[in-house]
């Protein structure tokens, strides 16, 4: 039985602080994922990204990860066999899963991916969370154990689940700002190029800077207004929640609740916006935004996101499992079930079982009918 990790609040808070430093300076991720690995008592931690347009999955940051030759092997041969890619597309952002939650043990151990790529590296269990999803790519963080170590249990899942909202938020902000190239002297130009509203506030919560998108949001006055130099949502409950969140972020970042960085801002007639509050009182964030004397940044965006990758949308529409989606995507270019099984590194029997389940769920009986249905499906406007 795996020993439950005992984590001190001070240690946990330092990891959360390091995560938010990464939002404005991604070079800190390398050290931060080391802290995350230590916190989860894992020898390995990675952040990986899959680009839909290129079809490539690449390591962004890794600690104690894979040997270079296995990285090349994954890119050249085993990426298509990776049994986790299908489930990851369906998995909501921020939800932590163990390996067994994503892929059935029997199917995993029979796969070529396990036999030829995982086992030779002495890897065992994995704890994974999807941390980023845009129109063009998805990203995930994964910690792993080595053979001989016990599997992850509920304690590790809960611990990474507490970190997950912060990791997701930091990566989303970093991705939106393209902060691999940003410098403080061009921060204003960069912020004005964003479609999300960005509000920088001082120690008293007063607005000291708004980008152009933010100006348009307050000019509309349906969701947000500016009163006495402070943000004032039109909804009274949202106003109280936003004020409290900003005050807490500015005055005592360490005391901010684990889930207290996002606030819903309803419109007067349905829909609305979502505000994410990022404290700027410590670390690199303080240095980068120092020119504005800002103590917190509020990112406000429309919750209607871009259409998800069609495979994910189709899977949600017909309630396909991640493994079923894998087989469907492998067959999409015109492969037979047998050829798809070879590409995925699974048995033909397993592939046939998945495809029969897909037939049952989509109410078709032939591969040609299924492919026609898949290719003609339209992704939903909102993420489901």
For the chain, the domains span: 9-177, 184-301, 310-376
Q: What is the pLDDT of residue 6?
A: 57
Percentage of the chain lying above the pLDDT 90 cut: 25
Residue 188: pLDDT band (50, 70, 90) is low
Q: What is the pLDDT of residue 336?
A: 86
Cα dihedral 127, 132, 82, 54, rounded to 10, equals: -160
Other CB atoms within 10 A of residue 173 CB: 20
Looking at the structure, give the CATH architecture of the domain made up of residues 184-301.
2-Layer Sandwich (3.30)
**Length of the chain, in residues:** 384
At 221 the three-state DSSP class reads: coil
Whether the per-residue pLDDT at 291 is higher than 60: the answer is no
How far, in Å, CA of 95 to CA of 74, rounded? 25
Burial class (CB in 10 A: 0-12, 13-18, 19+), 245: buried
Q: May I ask the CATH class of domain 9-177?
A: alpha beta
How far, in Å, CA of 341 to CA of 276, rounded? 43
Listed ranges 58-72, 90-104, 242-256, 332-346; the one with the highest mean pLDDT: 90-104
In Å, how far from its chain's centre is CA 51? Answer: 14
Residue whose token pair is 């960005």: 198
Looking at the structure, give the CATH architecture of the domain made up of residues 310-376.
Orthogonal Bundle (1.10)
- Greatest Cα pair distance, the chain, in angstroms, is 68
* Close Cβ partners of 213 (under 8 Å, ≥ 6 residues apart): 194, 195, 196, 197, 198
By the 8 A CB rule, do 19 and 282 touch?
A: no
In Å, how far from its chain's centre is CA 30? Answer: 17
* Rounded alpha-carbon distances, angstroms, from residue 238 to 232, 244, 245, 278: 9, 10, 10, 17
Q: What is the pLDDT of residue 353?
A: 94
Residue whose token pair is 């005391």: 255
Tokens for 6, please give them.
């005992």
Whether the per-residue pLDDT at 283 is higher than 60: the answer is no
DSSP state of 78: I
Other CB atoms within 10 A of residue 110 CB: 16
By the 8 A CB rule, do 30 and 150 touch?
A: no
Whether the per-residue pLDDT at 375 is higher than 90: the answer is no
Q: What is the pLDDT of residue 244?
A: 87
Least confident of 109-118, 158-167, 172-181, 308-317: 172-181
In Å, how far from its chain's centre is CA 348? Answer: 32
On average, the pLDDT of the chain sits at 80
Percentage of the chain lying above the pLDDT 70 cut: 79
Nearest in space to 113 (alpha carbons), one of 80, 88, 72: 80
Q: What is the pLDDT of residue 53?
A: 64
- Higher model confidence: residue 229 or residue 301? 229
Other CB atoms within 10 A of residue 122 CB: 12
- Higher model confidence: residue 357 or residue 77? 357
Query: Mean pLDDT across the stretch 183-194?
Result: 56
pLDDT of 215-225, one tens digit each?
989 988 888 99
- The string over 341-354, giving b where at least 16 C-beta atoms fall within 10 Å of a residue's C-beta and e elsewhere, is bbbbbbeeebbeeb
By the 8 A CB rule, do 274 and 265 touch?
A: yes
Query: Mean pLDDT across the stretch 40-67?
Result: 83
Residue 383: pLDDT band (50, 70, 90) is very low
Whether the per-residue pLDDT at 303 is higher than 90: the answer is no
Domains 9-177 and 184-301 belong to one CATH topology: yes
H/E element holding 263?
A: strand 262-266
By the 8 A CB rule, do 194 and 213 touch?
A: yes
Least confident of 129-133, 175-179, 231-235, 309-313: 175-179
Q: What is the pLDDT of residue 275?
A: 84
Least confident of 7-11, 41-45, 70-74, 98-102: 7-11
Q: What is the pLDDT of residue 190?
A: 57
- Find the distance separating the first CA and the last CA of the chain, reported in whole Å: 37
Nearest in space to 357 (alpha carbons), one of 378, 330, 328, 316: 328
At 270 the three-state DSSP class reads: coil
């Amino acid at each position: 039985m795996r020993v439950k990790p005992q984590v001190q609040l001070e240690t946990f808070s330092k990891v959360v602080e390091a995560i938010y430093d990464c939002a404005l300076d991604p070079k800190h991720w390398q050290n931060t994922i080391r802290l995350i690995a230590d916190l989860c008592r894992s020898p390995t931690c990675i952040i990986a990204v899959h680009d839909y347009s290129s079809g490539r999955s690449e390591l962004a940051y890794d600690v104690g990860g894979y040997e270079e030759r296995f990285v090349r092997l994954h890119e050249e041969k085993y990426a298509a066999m990776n049994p986790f890619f299908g489930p990851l597309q369906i998995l909501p952002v921020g939800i932590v899963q163990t390996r067994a939650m994503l892929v059935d043990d029997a199917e995993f151990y029979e796969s070529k991916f396990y036999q030829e790529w995982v086992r030779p590296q002495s890897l065992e269990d994995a704890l994974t969370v999807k941390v980023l999803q845009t129109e063009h790519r998805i990203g995930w963080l994964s910690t792993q154990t080595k053979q001989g170590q016990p599997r992850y249990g509920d304690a590790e899942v809960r611990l990474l689940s507490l970190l997950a909202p912060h990791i997701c938020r930091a990566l989303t902000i970093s991705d939106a700002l393209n902060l691999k190239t940003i410098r403080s002297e061009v921060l204003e130009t960069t912020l004005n190029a964003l479609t999300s509203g960005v509000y920088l506030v001082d120690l008293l919560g007063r607005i000291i800077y708004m980008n152009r998108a933010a100006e348009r949001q307050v000019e509309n006055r349906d969701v947000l207004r500016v009163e006495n130099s402070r943000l004032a949502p039109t909804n009274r409950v949202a106003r109280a929640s936003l004020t409290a969140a900003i005050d807490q972020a500015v005055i005592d970042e360490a005391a901010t609740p684990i889930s207290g960085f996002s606030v819903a801002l309803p419109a007067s007639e349905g829909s609305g916006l979502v505000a994410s509050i990022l404290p700027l009182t410590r670390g690199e964030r303080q240095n980068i935004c120092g020119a504005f004397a800002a103590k917190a940044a509020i990112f406000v965006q429309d919750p209607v996101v871009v259409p998800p990758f069609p495979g994910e949308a189709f899977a949600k529409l017909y309630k396909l499992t991640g493994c079923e989606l894998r087989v469907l995507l492998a067959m999409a270019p015109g492969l037979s079930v047998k050829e798809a099984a070879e590409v995925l590194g699974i048995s033909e029997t397993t592939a046939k079982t998945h495809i029969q389940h897909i037939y049952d769920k989509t109410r078709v009986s032939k591969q040609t009918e299924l492919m026609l249905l898949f290719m003609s499906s339209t992704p939903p406007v909102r993420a489901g």
